[in-house]
A and B are shown apart, each in its own frame.
Chain A
Amino acid sequence: MATIPADYSAAPPARDNYLTHGRGILSWLCTLDHKRIGVMYLVSILAAFLLGGIFAILIRTELLTPEKTIMGADTYNQFFTLHGAIMTFLVIIPGIPAALGNFVLPIMLGAKDLAFPRINLLSYYLWVAGALFSVLAIVMGSVDTGWTFYIPYATDTTMGGVIPVLMGVFVLGFSSIFTGLNFIVTIHKMRPPGMGWFELPLFLWALYATAVIQILATPVIGITGLLLIAERVGQFGIFHPGLGGDPVLYQHFFWFYSHPAVYIMILPAMGVISEIISIFSRKHIFGYHFIAFSSIAIAMFGFIVWGHHMFVSGQSTLISVIFSLLTYSVSIPSAVKVFNWLATMYGGSISLRAPMLYALAFIFIFGIGGLTGLFLGALATDVHLHDTYFVVAHFHYVMMGSTLIAMIAGIHHWWPKMVGRMYNEAAAFIAWVFVFVGMNLTFFPQFIMGAHGMPRRYYNYPPEFENLHQMSTWGSYLMAVGFVIIAAYLLHSLFAGRTAPANPWGGATLEWRCASPPPHDNYPVTPTAGDPYDFSDLKYNPQTGDYESDRGPAAS
């Protein structure tokens, strides 16, 4: 662990910063400051994560025994639906872009704010409205359709929550589109002098690629949701076979968004990891262009692979074959990124502080999550593995294990910048062990179960899977303990953490030349950017724990 300077001060930062700039609840609720909006997003998304997590723990507890453990089948079906819908639409899709992206993007660009601060606030409130619809759905009789809302189940079910949840998804879509629009315009128009496209930090390349998907794909889920509501209320006969519709058409519409959405989730995560690996190896990122282009490649290929969700649905054999081939095209840029991260670490000066620990965990977990995707892209093996726990394990390794781990890595990375305080590294290490071990213990046994034929969304299950299910459940408890520890030391740091210097990790991107926490306007004058991965002019000052630049601070 790092040496902690002896003369640290526990006194709160006295200077004017974005946290102290305005007082009172209204100064937060009506703020146009991207940093405050980012913090509000972070708090709201973590609250949704808590709710989705509680459902997850209840589901896992139910699965301790092959028959009933704590709840009935209908309750179980509602819980896994709510877990899936909340985690996907409220947590993982907006997680990194809306919370961390909002906070970091303008500062990384040396800008005072996003291009459209009011639209930014609007997208936050649209997120809140979408979240309220989900709560409304729970109150109005819940949903039991699974987060995929397959027809005719979703049009026939008697549960009253289907329409509110779909309305929620519709509204959340606007939130996502507005954020994407804001990011694209900001990156295009507000880059500082010295920052061409290939001096853009890789996190911003990732956010840019993500924003393109958000804008192009999200309208489709909004329209699909409305069509489903129309089908349920007005019986138009678009999707329902009883009315002459085609239920597989619905699946095409749904996955035309929801597969690119997978890259909305993972691309920003990869961006975070690129930043962290380089900074904590104190070495220039290896193969900048390959990583940047791989983000764009993933965003593009991500649009033409959706049909791999329907290999056994009855879509034409030819189409399935084409989708299988295209699916493999996504695996290449993902592999390139992993190799580039490893090459970045080679010969570096690797510091194992909390953000880097999570980045290493990300490479390990994303390795498994990505490689198991290969089994699902191949047609014959997918026929066997489709809709089993193998798929559940695969996407939890990618969504939960990779995206969420990257989000935690990002929170630890930018926490000193956000709140101006350092957290306890020893506690962070203990929590990391819990989360990493718990994550693997929860989801690795699910690969074995799935390959043996354990279908997903099963309330009762064949008794031979009991041991593996129990391992999985104990793992989920370990993970929960890890998250509680994280919450505890982060909250503790707010009140008792040592004051953070401007650049505690030695980052070369612009936000580290801004004070911690940043002032209301970020920079008094627009700074000049250099190579975001050139650390040579940063000198460590053991007295302050800060990395000081020859160029001096950009803001004071």
Chain B
Amino acid sequence: MNTLLARLLAQTNIDWPPVAPEDGTFWLPPQASTQAPQTDLAFYFIYWVSVFFFILIVFLMTVFVFRYRRRVEGEGPRVNVTHNTPLELVWTTIPLILVVVMFYMGFRGFMDLMNPPADAMDVYVLGQKWNWNFTYPNGHQDTELHVPVDTNVRLILESQDVIHSFYVPAFRIKRDAVPGRYNKIWFKATKPGEYLALCAEYCGTQHSDMLARVVVHEPGMFEKWLADASDPFKTRSYAEVGQLVVTKRCGGCHSIDGSANVGPTFKDLFGSEVKHTDGATVLVDEEYVRKSIINPQAEIVAGYDPVMPTFKGQLKDREITAIIEYLKQLAGMTSTLSDVGRETEEAAPAADAAASQPTETEKDSE
């Protein structure tokens, strides 16, 4: 129940793009993919057929109620007709024709959606409680989906735990991420900008916070973004990279300002002593942080639920080092790598040496 209290106090400091911005229609959000106009055409065809029949039904009902209202109890009917087979066949056949058209419109759009073009760029999407992880063709992993405008993108969805569903309303796409199988869907974004992706399949406590930013880049900008995101050390110190990683990957559950959340706060955590559910008291040092990321279920801090997924394989050793440096900064310590972290031509050997350190620690622990 501790998570309840945590959620109660949780602060969301991320500024998400709106899912339903002002510039949509009364019924649908703005169209931002090639799929959207097709889906919306089917939507509005069904909509106007429905509006017509609904108004017809309610109109007739209202007219009959007023016109044939019983004025004296016991009064008989004005007309005595029990059936009219030709008429009934007509109102069986007309809806039948209309629904076949509806089926066909939905079918066309769906076949398009299920058959990605051969030149599509593949992005792997991993759903896990409670965030999305995107793997780009060059191997870079990120919590945001970045794509170039006017480019075919194929999403290959998988899940690490329970069923999730990847949903981008502006693109009119949705596909379940099912553990144990790959599902695919594709889209071609038509408007640069920021959109919101949501989890649509119920997955537990933070289901409604399992959001992801979708960024559609102007031509040429995607490659720049990918280059920078793939190697953040090029232009940043270790602690700066650590801050970046913590904001993206840990911020949903761990605060950096001491406020309560699903997991312990990172403020003043490094160098402190934490109490585990088994009663042991442990010093938070480099090895402890690393273990908590790679194997989070091994030891649980007292007062918290064992809900953290492993980040093994998702965070590189250097990124874990960067997180450690950032945690030191949050604890008011001087980052030991603050001088050497910036990977310039001259400092490169030093940074490499620093990056290899945690690997040694890992060996020690084994």
Binding site for B on A (CB under 8 A): 2-3, 67-68, 72-75, 77, 144, 146, 150, 152-153, 156-157, 241-242, 245-248, 281-290, 311-314, 317, 320-321, 324-325, 328, 331-332, 335-336, 338-340, 342-343, 345-352, 360, 363-364, 367-368, 371-372, 374-375, 377-384, 386-388, 448, 451-462, 464-465, 506, 533, 535-536, 539-540, 542, 547
Contact = CB atoms under 8 A, between A and B. Distances in A.
B358 interface: no
Contact of B82 (A288, A317, A542): A288
Contact of A68 (B8, B58, B179): B8
Nearest to A347: B79
B74 interface: yes
Interface in B3-48: 3-5, 7-8, 12, 16, 18-21, 24, 26-29, 35, 38-39, 42-43, 46-47
B363 interface: no
A345 B19 contact: no
B113 interface: yes
A547 B107 CA distance: 54
B191 interface: no
A379 B107 contact: yes
B38 A462 contact: no
27 contacts: A72-B3, A74-B4, A77-B204, A241-B180, A242-B180, A247-B179, A282-B76, A312-B174, A313-B176, A324-B110, A335-B91, A342-B57, A346-B79, A350-B65, A351-B70, A352-B65, A372-B50, A379-B109, A381-B39, A381-B43, A383-B174, A384-B173, A387-B167, A453-B198, A461-B208, A464-B21, A542-B74
B203 interface: yes
Interface of B: 1, 3-5, 7-8, 12, 16, 18-21, 24, 26-29, 35, 38-39, 42-43, 46-47, 49-50, 53-54, 57-58, 60-61, 64-65, 68-70, 73-84, 87-88, 91-92, 95-96, 99-100, 102-103, 105-111, 113-114, 161-163, 165, 167, 169-170, 172-176, 178-181, 183, 196, 198-209
Contacts of A363: 57, 61
Contacts of A465: 20
A460 B105 CA distance: 34
A378 B5 CA distance: 42
Nearest to A316: B114
Given A331-B95, A351-B70, A455-B167, A152 B64 contact: no
Contacts of B73: 2-3, 351, 540, 542
B24 A452 contact: yes
Given A283-B77, A457-B207, A377 B102 contact: yes
Contacts of B5: 72
Contact of B206 (A73, A314, A451, A453): A73
A374 B178 CA distance: 27
A380 B42 contact: yes
Contacts of A157: 204
Contacts of B108: 380
Contacts of B80: 283-284, 347
Contacts of B3: 72-74
For the complex of A and B, 5 pairs with smallest distance between CB atoms: A347-B79, A453-B169, A540-B74, A241-B180, A378-B106
B61 A345 contact: yes
B47 to A, nearest CB: 8
Contact of B53 (A371, A381, A536): A371
A378 B200 contact: no
A288 B92 CA distance: 14
A504 to B, nearest CB: 10
B95 A332 contact: yes
Contacts of A536: 76
Given A336-B91, A451-B27, A464 B163 contact: no
A199 to B, nearest CB: 13
A377 B105 CA distance: 11
Contacts of A339: 88, 91
Residue from A283, A381, A383, A539 whose CB has the most chain B CB atoms within 10 Å: A381
A452 B110 contact: no
A533 B60 CA distance: 22
A321 B107 contact: yes
Most buried by B among A287, A321, A378: A378
Contacts of B176: 312-314
Contact of B174 (A67, A349, A350, A386): A386
B179 A152 contact: yes
A380 B106 contact: yes
